[in-house]
Amino acid sequence: MTGLRRRKTDSGYARGEETRARIIRTALALFGERGFDGVSTRDIAAQAGVPAPSLQYYFESKEGLYAACIEDIQIAAMKAVGPALEILDGLLDADASDDKIIDAYCSALDGLTDFLFGSADASSRALFIARRIMPTKSTLTKKDLSKATGPRLQERCGKIIARLSNGAMSENEIRMTSMTITGQLFAFHFAREHFKALLGYDEITGDRLTTLKQIIRRQTTLLLKACKSKRA
């Protein structure tokens, strides 16, 4: 993992992992609230309850810590969505029925919904991703960005649309349709003030999470099946 220096003993390593995770959680919240330039490493260390040199020890620099925050989000997101994507890939390779493939993709979106709204750090992650202002000297590369769950979901969605449309949709139509489908959740994720004005709340509780997943699944199924109707 980015910037992690392993300790020699198991107990020491466990403590190091706990400290590292606490620093990342704190940094996610502060970077999300204030942006990259609005927070110092001393601010993060103080709020995390660790000595300031700890940040350099684990992450080498502020940029390294920021990159570690992104990596942490990517890992958590893929943990939530990855198993469903593996099942989906298997169904696509096996040329399974359209209904099974659509249901598997909806299950992947279920996992993403749980990650975006059901996790303890959901609000901090949302603010962090919304700002996403990286300094030009960042160590994060385009290769690292390819690990993000969003592009992987969109790629799978594009494959499903291409299969369902059977050549009746252009590449541009496929991409735009895929963005429409995968973007449903992010409207709630990033525009919380907007849906607070419309719905009267900005918190996704357990019952609301269940309802949201049902709506996303229903809409996704309808949108994908609409692509099937374009077959020649």
Are 36 and 9 contacting, i.e. CB atoms less than 8 angstroms apart? no
What integer pLDDT is reported at residue 10 of this predicted model? 53
What integer pLDDT is reported at residue 185 of this predicted model? 82
How distant, in Å, are the alpha carbons of 32, 57, 93, 154, 180 from that of 208? 24, 41, 35, 25, 22
Q: Write out residues in the chain with pLDDT < 50, as ranges.
A: 1-9, 133-143, 230-232
How distant, in Å, are the alpha carbons of 40, 72, 153 from that of 159? 43, 27, 10
Q: What residue ranges define each of the domains in the chain, with the CATH number in brackets?
A: 10-228 (1.10.357.10)
Are 149 and 78 contacting, i.e. CB atoms less than 8 angstroms apart? yes
CA atoms within 13 A on the CB side of 137: 5
* Residue 189 to residue 218: CA distance in whole angstroms: 19
Shortest CA distance to 159 belongs to which of 75, 77, 91, 218? 91
- Look up the pTM and report it: 0.79
What integer pLDDT is reported at residue 144 of this predicted model? 52
What integer pLDDT is reported at residue 199 of this predicted model? 78
List, as one string, the DSSP characters of 31-65: HHHH-STT--HHHHHHHHTS-THHHHHHHSSHHHH
* Residue 191 to residue 205: CA distance in whole angstroms: 17
List, as one string, the DSSP characters of 81-101: HHHHHHHHHHHHHTT--HHHH
Residue with tokens 């050549």: 167
Region of residue 96 (left: phi > 0; alpha: psi -120 to 50; beta: else): beta
What integer pLDDT is reported at residue 189 of this predicted model? 72
What integer pLDDT is reported at residue 229 of this predicted model? 59
